[in-house]
């Protein structure tokens, strides 16, 4: 596990990485939002005041190991969804900004279900805010659509979700780039970040080619089940891999690169070239 601190309103909130997502110490969050100095007692009263929260408590909260000044301790933690649920039960003015944000996010989600194009627009806005170029954003959005088309195809062809999707994705990536997604992230120095958000334009293009080719092969061969779709995934990735190698021969430059956008926004990188 990886334990770090986040700060909210000058209050330190401990968190730990568990099952590839952040879990926050419940007492720290509660203490940041209330005036009481006894978060344990407040939590007990909160569960009594909100019976639904009390009934679902064991599903929301887990005991995890947290590093403290006195060494590792087992403490009650909740993931982001669980923390939001707990915050909803805190009648404190300090919690109101969280509640308003939650209401806004919920409303936007309903809008996106009614009009999926809104989700695309908001995603583009987020990438722009992070400094990505318009050309990169268009490739990234197209890649998202191609990926969704591929997973839809897998679902219709009796591929049974995760972890089979992950295995097939690794098959495509290995054939296209010589690296599995995990190896690729390690090369780029990434941990929990989305790999494709840190790819260059060319890396995105060859990712799209591998997945689009896999989709087409699966359709033409009428691949059914995990085994046949794994064969299609390898063939689709190999098509992208062969094209990548030919480009590398012509340009004398590697497509696969440790470059990522953790340190500097992509837009600034482009301006510096």
Model confidence over 62-97: pLDDT tens digits?
999 887 777 778 999 998 888 888 988 888 777 777
Instruction: Tell whether 247 and 120 lie within a shared domain.
Output: yes
According to DSSP, the residues that pair with 4 across neighbouring strands are 15
Q: How far, in Å, CA of 34 to CA of 28, rounded?
A: 10
pTM of the model as a whole: 0.66
- Whether the Cβ atoms of residue 197 and residue 207 lie closer than 8 Å to each other: no
What average pLDDT does this structure show over 35-60?
89
Helix, strand, or coil (residue 10): coil
Q: Which stretch of 32-46, 111-125, 166-180, 186-200 has the lowest confidence by average pLDDT?
A: 111-125
- pLDDT tens track for 226-267: 999 999 999 999 999 999 999 999 999 999 999 987 655 554
Residue 184 has pLDDT above 90, yes or no: yes
Q: How far, in Å, CA of 94 to CA of 20, rounded?
A: 29
| Residue 157: both structure tokens together | 């062809």
Q: How many separate domains does the chain show?
A: 2
Choose one of 110, 144, 164: the last residue of a domain.
110
Q: How far, in Å, CA of 177 to CA of 181, rounded?
A: 9
Instruction: Tell whether 159 and 174 lie within a shared domain.
Output: yes
Instruction: Tell whether 101 and 121 lie within a shared domain.
Output: no
Expressed as residue numbers, the domain containing 83 is 3-110
State residue 106's pLDDT score: 63
Choose one of 66, 89, 110: the last residue of a domain.
110
- pLDDT tens track for 214-230: 999 999 999 999 999 99
- Whether the Cβ atoms of residue 79 and residue 22 lie closer than 8 Å to each other: yes
- Intra-chain end-to-end CA distance of the chain, in Å: 39
State residue 262's pLDDT score: 61
Instruction: Tell whether 42 and 88 lie within a shared domain.
Output: yes
Instruction: Tell whether 131 and 230 lie within a shared domain.
Output: yes
- Whether the Cβ atoms of residue 173 and residue 180 lie closer than 8 Å to each other: yes
Choose one of 84, 110, 136: the last residue of a domain.
110
State residue 271's pLDDT score: 39
Instruction: Tell whether 45 and 141 lie within a shared domain.
Output: no
Mean residue pLDDT across the chain: 86
Cβ count within 10 A of residue 195: 17
Q: What are the CA-CA distances from residue 79 to residues 17, 19, 64, 204 (Å)?
A: 10, 10, 11, 31
| Residue 143: both structure tokens together | 């890649």
């Amino acid at each position: 596990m990886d334990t770090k601190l986040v700060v909210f309103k000058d209050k330190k909130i401990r968190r730990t990485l568990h099952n590839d997502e952040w879990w926050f110490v419940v007492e720290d969050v509660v203490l940041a939002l209330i005036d009481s100095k006894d978060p344990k007692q407040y939590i007990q009263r909160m569960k009594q005041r909100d019976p639904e929260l009390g009934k679902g408590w064991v599903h929301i909260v887990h005991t995890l190991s947290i590093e403290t000044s006195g060494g590792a301790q087992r403490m009650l933690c909740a993931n982001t969804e669980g923390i939001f649920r707990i915050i909803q039960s805190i009648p404190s003015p300090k919690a109101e900004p969280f509640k308003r944000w939650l209401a806004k996010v919920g409303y936007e989600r309903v809008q996106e279900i009614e009009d999926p194009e809104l989700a695309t627009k908001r995603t583009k806005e987020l990438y722009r805010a992070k400094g990505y170029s318009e050309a990169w954003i268009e490739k990234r959005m197209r890649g998202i659509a191609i990926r969704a088309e591929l997973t839809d195809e897998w679902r219709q062809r009796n591929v049974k979700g995760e972890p089979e999707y992950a295995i097939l994705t690794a098959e495509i990536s290995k054939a296209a780039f010589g690296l599995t997604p995990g190896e690729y992230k390690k090369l780029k120095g990434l941990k929990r970040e989305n790999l494709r958000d840190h790819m260059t334009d060319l890396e995105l293009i060859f990712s799209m080619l591998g997945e689009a080719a896999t989709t087409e092969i699966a359709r033409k061969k009428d691949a059914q089940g995990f085994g046949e779709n794994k064969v299609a995934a390898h063939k689709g990735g190999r098509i992208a891999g062969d094209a990548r190698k030919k480009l590398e021969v012509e340009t004398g430059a590697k497509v696969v690169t440790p470059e990522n956008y953790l340190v500097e926004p992509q837009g600034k990188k482009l301006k510096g070239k």
